[in-house]
Structure 1
């Protein structure tokens, strides 16, 4: 799997959402290897979007399509400044639920001291902890040099808040502490109206 993470400040929220709908309607069938898109705009106007492809080669071919270039230029008109784009082939998918059914998505982004160790801890935590949180449908974590970004998909914001207010389960405290020691500059981006796209699911 290959991921493209795009972050920017949105100047026109309605236009941004419409551009996403237009891409799904007009471009998704032409994007060979495209799997899904998870993202949206925070209350503060920050857009975050994770786009997944089967391979890097297919993602590059999509970026090179003239229609994709035209769409990208149109998208830039509703953004402030130059978007940040991160490409990575180091992608972990956790959980077996349908991410397109999420009612709330939280992006987490941070820096890590030892990516190999942090990834190992992340995999262990998600494998062991996720079954204890029925509010979590699943997540996708993208690793890039020095950092990571993870999109966690929840059934609803209310359920997510209830879940996060619970104490860390017994036996996870040490593991949790090890992960916290690996992570710095952690930021959260809450999407109460997520933009979710796949072959079978069009954005609301």
Structure 2
């Protein structure tokens, strides 16, 4: 899998959502290799989208499409200060349910001092995690250059996610969480998408 992350400050969340709905209607049917997208705007106007493709070549072909170029040119007028792009072929996906049914998505960006160890830790104790946090119905981890990463966590709802955050984890999971936190090479940045836009091929 290949993931392209695009982010920036948006001027009008409603117009941005309308633009993505139009992309689904007009461009998605021709986007060969596109697997789905997670997008949204935070309360303070930060936009982010994680577009998933089956390969980097499929993403490149989509970007080179004249229709896609025209759509992006129009969409980018809603961004102040332009867009920032990240890409990754080092992608790990976990599904405990249907991420497309998520009522709340939290995207986390940061940098890990040891990305391989972080990825291994995230894969530990899957049954314990499922029992402890049934509100988490999926996750996606994309590792970029120099240890930078983008993670998307898919929750049943924001209320259940916040309730889950307050729970005290069992000792085994707490040890994993503590080690994960120790690998942060910089303060993570959070994008809380309380109205996530979840798109997939029809």
Long gaps (5+) in structure 2: none
Contact 1:138 1:152 in 2 (8 A): yes
* Aligned equivalents of 2:97, 2:83: Cα separation in 1: 30
**Who is 2:152 aligned against?**
151
Three-state SS of the structure 1 residue aligned to 2:52 is: strand
* Aligned equivalents of 2:69, 2:138: Cα separation in 1: 31
Contact 2:96 2:130 in 1 (8 A): no
Three-state SS of the structure 1 residue aligned to 2:124 is: helix
Over residues 44-75 of structure 1, what are the superposed CA-to-partner deviations in whole Å (9 max), with x where a residue is unaligned?
A: 00011100001111111111101000000000
Q: How many corresponding residue pairs? A: 200
Per mean C-alpha deviation after superposition, the further-off stretch among 103-112 and 120-129 is 120-129
**Who is 1:198 aligned against?**
200
* Aligned equivalents of 1:56, 1:72: Cα separation in 2: 18
Kindly state the Cα deviation for residue 127 of structure 1 after the two structures are TM-superposed: 6.3
* Aligned equivalents of 2:19, 2:156: Cα separation in 1: 25
**Who is 1:106 aligned against?**
106
Runs of 4+ aligned residues of structure 1 deviating over 3 Å after TM superposition are 125-128
Long gaps (5+) in structure 1: none
**Who is 2:188 aligned against?**
186
Change (3 A) 1:130 1:84: farther
Contact 2:99 2:138 in 1 (8 A): yes
CA RMSD of aligned residues (A): 1.3
Correspondence list, 1:8-157, <5 A: 8-124=8-124, 128-145=128-145, 146-157=147-158
Three-state SS of the structure 1 residue aligned to 2:151 is: strand
Provide TM-score, normalisation by structure 2: 0.94
Kindly state the Cα deviation for residue 125 of structure 1 after the two structures are TM-superposed: 5.7
